[in-house]
Amino acid sequence: MGQPATLVIDIETVGQDPEAIPLRAREILLNVATDEDRQKVLDSLALDPCTGRIICIGVHWMELDRSRAYSQPDERELLANFWSDIGQIRPQRYVTFNGKSFDFPYINIRSAIMGVPIPRDLVLDTRRFSIDRHFDVREVLTNYDRYKKGTLEYFCEIFGVKSPKDGISGSNVGDYFKQGRIDEIAQYCLGDCRATGELYTKLKSYYR
């Protein structure tokens, strides 16, 4: 492409239909003591790449101020298109918010489950304590403390960045998806990308 590429990436996920989870795996998953515990398991399906699925990947190329949302109904096609473009862009640095703990492992595992091949030299970097290849904004702002509180909205408020949380949040993405409002989910995802990119811009000169 002729110039360095810094890509901000964010994903949106939903839980699979429990009936789509292999029978024995579903039995193991739901082998809990009470109905309340069972409901907690069902409510958290979206958070695990083994029981959830990706419905949108947002990408923002910072140098070009160009964004794209991958939101095809077929997850395999979505992932294949994402990896095809990543292979052409060949980013020098990824930027995420909690991407090392959530987004990148999720993309890698879903790609493996769906059998989507990826360029071997472009495996998404999930190593902690490094910012050269992957600048995880949340890791930096929490000093690598996974248990320290701090959402994207919170840090946007602290740094004076316009919050992307306007009418939709991660907690109701599943409802929007059931209603077929995928375009709104895509715009929400890209809003998260842009906000993460703005936080990165404010931080990057302090971390070399």
Q: How many CB atoms lie within 10 A of CB 199?
A: 24
- The pLDDT assigned to 1 comes to 46
pLDDT beyond 90 at 123: no
- What would the mean pLDDT of 39-63 be, rounded to a whole number? 96
CATH class belonging to 6-206: alpha beta
The encoded tokens of residue 68 equal: 């794209």
Q: Where exactly are the structural domains of the chain?
A: 6-206
Give the Cα separation of 43 and 148 in Å (integer): 23
Question: Which residue, 121, 137, 142, 131, is CA-closest to 198?
Answer: 137
Q: Which residue has the tokens 């740094």?
A: 159
User: Do strands 134-136 and 93-96 pair parallel, antiparallel, or not at all (unpaired)?
Assistant: parallel
pLDDT beyond 70 at 138: yes
User: Exposed/middle/buried for 177, CB within 10 Å: 0-12, 13-18, 19+?
Assistant: buried
Q: Which residue has the tokens 């160009």?
A: 66
Beta bridge partners of 70: 57
Q: Describe the strand order of the beta sheet including 66-70 as a list of residue ranges.
A: 66-70, 52-61, 6-15, 93-96, 134-136
pTM higher than 0.75: yes
User: Do strands 52-61 and 6-15 pair parallel, antiparallel, or not at all (unpaired)?
Assistant: antiparallel
The encoded tokens of residue 156 equal: 């946007």
User: Exposed/middle/buried for 189, CB within 10 Å: 0-12, 13-18, 19+?
Assistant: buried
Each residue of 189-198: pLDDT tens digit? 999 999 999 9
Beta bridge partners of 7: 61, 94
The three-state secondary structure class of 10 is strand
Q: How many CB atoms lie within 10 A of CB 72?
A: 15
The encoded tokens of residue 46 equal: 């979206």
Each residue of 4-33: pLDDT tens digit? 799 999 999 999 999 999 999 999 999 988
